[in-house]
């Protein structure tokens, strides 16, 4: 058993002329704004499934451009940026020092946000590489790569100059994610251009799957490894287990991308390799699940009351379900039913929204009051937004699983005309829209809560009578 690290932050409030945590604050706020904007685009795309003529025939507003706008917006504008901002907050605290350079940190925030804004214009303008998740044109890809290298430099320099010698597991996962992301992003966005046909598809699926497995998984798990013990005020269940998880994920994940092409035009041995490694993924996943549940065990009453822990533990549960589904999808028989159906869209949203976005949201709710040095504006609002996103998410995922599975069975039945399988999905797409509206409302409340936390005035202390605490104060700011 080992304890979570302490928040031993030392030094003055100013660092190189910039206040502490300024980069974390800027990244978190801009990412949450992109969360709300990109989720609203998701809603528009969902409406198009029900009324294909919705928003007319203007090329910029067609499905083929709005869908990648939504996907890139949530993945990069929101999730990656939020994870980067939260790591600017977490890593210095785990190292017992300050971020190596707040100036460099702030530069990465501004540059990354400009890239995302540029991506809005290129995506809507139809300037795209035409590969899933890799739609950004080459000049923006170069920008992303430069920002990532500078981000990595800042984090590695912070770790190299640390005061705490112990390397907590969140640091391992962060270092791994920085190296893996560079590799995966370069393969997905530059190397794919050098190939064509099946080889290009194989590289693209390597990228798509590892974008989730070697970018968002280690980043999300790193954050949860920090925030769960912190928020539960509990020691981590097992440091040894966390190390087994880290080394097994680094060995297993890269081999799984080809499971997107099962029954496709790639060699059988490559498909079989991807199936075997997909099944082996259960090992690192179980280390994470056992560790997170073990850490909060006996503290369920605290989880029930606390919105941050609720997000973290719901995220852990969604992570378990996602990673149970994944290896199942890779089996040839199951794959023949669910591949390319709406089931996969339900699965993808459970991973990136239900698991990794929930970890990031919990991190924002934890870090923002501490950066603002005052309690969260409203714990009630945080609870409401949790229940909206949780209920909306469940409606969304379950509807697409049920509809998608039956859709897959129908596709395998050659006596059913394709158009009937489309009509069959309409009630499920309606349910997704309702779930999406709940998620969107939750996202707006979440943004409002964070912005108000920075802006509300703390009442000045009075001599007598004593100032009552805010109705439901969060834990004291650090």
Binding site for ligand HEM (CB under 6 A): 39, 42-43, 45-46, 67, 70-71, 74-75, 78-79, 344-345, 348-349, 352-353, 357, 436, 439-440
Q: Is 86 exposed, middle or buried (CB count within 10 Å of its CB: 0-12, 13-18, 19+)?
A: buried
* Residue number, 305 or 340, with CB nearest to ligand HEM: 340
Beta carbon of residue 378, minimum distance to ligand HEM (angstroms, whole number): 22
CB of 282 to ligand HEM, least distance (A): 22
Q: How far is the CB of 332 from ligand HEM (least distance, A)?
A: 20
Question: Half-sphere exposure of 411 toward its Cβ, with a 13 Å CA cutoff?
Answer: 16
Residue pair 116/38 in contact by the 8 Å Cβ criterion:
no
Measure the CA–CA gap between 346 and 324, rounded to whole angstroms.
Answer: 14
The DSSP code sequence of 207-276 is HHHHIIIIIIHHHHHHHHHHHHHHHHT--BS-HHHHHHHHHHHHHHGGG-GGGGGTTSSS-HHHHHHHHH
Residue 6 phi, psi dihedral angles, 5° rounding:
-90, 160
Q: Give me 430's structure tokens.
A: 């309606």
Pairing between strand 18-19 and 14-15?
A: antiparallel
Residue 15 or 349 with smaller CB distance to ligand HEM: 349
Q: How far is the CB of 275 from ligand HEM (least distance, A)?
A: 20
**Under 8 Å between Cβ of 428 and 402:** yes
Using the minimum distance from each CB to ligand HEM, give the nearer residue, 22 or 439: 439
Between CA 353 and CA 359, with CA 355 as vertex, the angle to 5 degrees is 100
Q: What tokens appear for 112 in the block? A: 């990354």
Nearer CB in complex with ligand HEM: 105/327: 327
Q: Which is nearer to ligand HEM, 100 or 440 (CB)?
A: 440
Nearer to ligand HEM, 113 or 342 (CB): 342
CB atoms within 10 A of CB 386: 23
Cβ of residue 78: shortest distance to ligand HEM, in angstroms?
6
d(CA 461, CA 379): 22
Q: In the bound complex, what is the minimum distance in angstroms from residue 471's beta carbon to ligand HEM?
A: 30
User: 309 or 443: whose CB is closer to ligand HEM?
Assistant: 443
Residue 410: CB minimum distance to ligand HEM, A:
16
Shortest Cβ distance from residue 57 to ligand HEM (Å)? 19
Alpha-carbon dihedral angle through residues 26, 29, 34, 39, given to the nearest 10 degrees? 160
Between 234 and 261, CB nearer to ligand HEM: 261
């Amino acid at each position: 058993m080992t304890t979570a690290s302490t928040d031993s932050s030392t030094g003055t409030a100013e660092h190189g002329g910039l206040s502490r945590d300024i980069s974390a604050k800027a990244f978190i706020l801009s990412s949450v704004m992109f969360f709300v904007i990109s989720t609203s685009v998701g809603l528009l795309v969902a409406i198009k499934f029900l009324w294909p003529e919705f928003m007319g025939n203007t090329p910029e507003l067609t499905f083929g451009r709005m869908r990648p706008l939504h996907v890139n917006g949530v993945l990069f504008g929101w999730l990656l940026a939020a994870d980067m901002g939260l790591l600017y907050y977490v890593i210095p605290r785990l190292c017992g020092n300050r971020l190596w350079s707040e100036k460099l940190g702030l530069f990465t925030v501004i540059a990354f946000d400009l890239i995302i804004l540029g991506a809005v214009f290129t995506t809507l303008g139809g300037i795209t590489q035409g590969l899933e998740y890799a739609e950004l044109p080459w000049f923006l890809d170069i920008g992303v790569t430069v920002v990532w290298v500078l981000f990595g430099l800042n984090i590695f320099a912070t770790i190299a100059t640390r005061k705490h010698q112990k390397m907590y597991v969140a640091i391992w996962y962060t270092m791994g994610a920085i190296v893996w992301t560079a590799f995966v992003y370069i393969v997905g966005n530059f190397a794919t251009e050098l190939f064509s046909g099946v080889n290009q598809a194989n590289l693209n699926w390597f990228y798509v799957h590892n974008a989730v497995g070697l970018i968002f998984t280690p980043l999300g798990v790193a954050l949860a490894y920090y925030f769960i013990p912190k928020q539960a005020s509990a020691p981590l269940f097992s440091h040894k287990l966390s190390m087994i998880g880290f080394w097994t994920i680094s060995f297993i994940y890269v081999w799984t991308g080809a499971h997107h092409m099962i029954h496709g035009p790639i060699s059988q041995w490559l498909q079989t390799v991807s199936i075997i490694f997909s099944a082996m993924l259960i090992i690192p996943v179980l280390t994470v699940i056992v560790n997170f549940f073990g850490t909060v065990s006996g503290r369920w009453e605290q989880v029930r009351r606390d919105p941050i822990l609720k997000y973290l533990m719901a995220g852990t549960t969604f992570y378990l379900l996602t990673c149970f589904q994944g290896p199942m999808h890779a089996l040839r028989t199951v794959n023949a039913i669910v591949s390319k159906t709406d089931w996969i869209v339900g699965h993808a949203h459970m991973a990136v929204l239900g698991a990794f976005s929930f970890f990031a949201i919990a991190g924002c709710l934890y870090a923002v009051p501490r950066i603002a040095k005052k309690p969260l504006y409203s714990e009630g609002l945080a609870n409401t937004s949790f229940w909206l996103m949780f209920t909306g998410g469940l409606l969304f995922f379950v509807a697409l699983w049920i509809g998608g599975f039956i859709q897959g069975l129908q596709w395998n039945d050659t006596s059913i005309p394709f158009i009937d399988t489309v009509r069959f999905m309409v009630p499920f797409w309606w349910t997704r829209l309702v779930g999406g509206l709940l998620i969107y409302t939750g996202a707006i409340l979440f943004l409002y809560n964070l912005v108000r936390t920075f802006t509300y005035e703390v009442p000045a202390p009075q001599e007598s009578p004593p100032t009552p605490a805010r109705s439901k104060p969060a834990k004291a700011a650090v």
